[in-house]
Amino acid sequence: MSNGGLDALIEALRCLPGVGPKSAQRMAYHLMQHDRAGAARLGNAIQHALQAIRHCRRCNTLTELEICERCASPKRDPSLLCVVETPVDMNMMEQTLAYHGLYYVLMGRISPLDGLGARQLELDRLLARATDGQVREVILATNYTNEGEATAHYITTMLKSQGVGVTRIARGVPVGGELEFVDSGTLAQALRERRVLAG
């Protein structure tokens, strides 16, 4: 094979989410033809990340430390615990600048079709955390998908039985969203969960 290396690279690129055979081919040729420096950086970044990155022992997120910076920060309010599905979702919450409590990253969601149940998510660890005496409110910020909703429902049942306060982030019309372009399910929910205006 004169192109074993290229074929191996194309095949290897397919481990990236959302990358099929066509994109992988295009990416491989791009790297080899137009951006060898970028390819070298990417190769090194992957090797380094594989060595350095692990899970925070408190919140599960990906970090290079035993306990991540957010969990270790004295500026965070330890009475609030926000539950998200992934580290990406945690970053989205952080970008709002509206939350100053701590996090618990599920690293997944309950999804029976994918063989993911409460056990795989190690929800007993979340239960232990939520009942450690410091947490007063658990804010569920899982996605508003079927799986995210099922996960939120399961966690609510689990925590309520232990007397922990549980809330769920609101759902409705996106800020800046026009009714014309919002799907009717969202609009129906926004109507159902309408709130009284002050004043």
The Cβ of residue 175 has, within 10 Å, a number of other Cβ atoms equal to 5
Give yes or no for residue 5 binding a second copy (CB under 8 A): yes
Give yes or no for residue 83 binding a second copy (CB under 8 A): no
Give yes or no for residue 113 binding a second copy (CB under 8 A): no
Q: Report which of 21, 26, 37, 28 is spatially closest to residue 6, judged by C-alpha positions.
A: 28
Contact yes or no for 141/93 (Cβ under 8 A)? yes
Pick the closer one to a second copy by CB: 91 or 146.
Answer: 91
**Site stretch for a second copy (CB under 8 A), options 47-55, 131-139, 160-168, 186-194:** 47-55
Give yes or no for residue 33 binding a second copy (CB under 8 A): yes
The Cα–Cα gap between 26 and 13 comes to 10
**Site stretch for a second copy (CB under 8 A), options 58-66, 127-135, 162-170, 172-180:** 58-66
Give yes or no for residue 142 binding a second copy (CB under 8 A): no
Total residue count of the chain as it appears in this document = 199
Q: Which amino acid is at 136?
A: R
Give yes or no for residue 93 binding a second copy (CB under 8 A): no
Give yes or no for residue 162 binding a second copy (CB under 8 A): no
The residues with which 81 forms a beta bridge, in sequence order, are 102, 138
The Cα–Cα gap between 83 and 96 comes to 15
116 contacts: CB under 8 Å, gap ≥ 6: 108, 109, 110
Binder to a second copy among 36, 57, 125, 160 (CB under 8 A)?
Answer: 36
**Which residues are at the interface with a second copy (CB under 8 A)?**
2-6, 8-9, 11-13, 15-18, 23, 25-33, 35-36, 38-53, 62-65, 68-69, 86-88, 91, 107
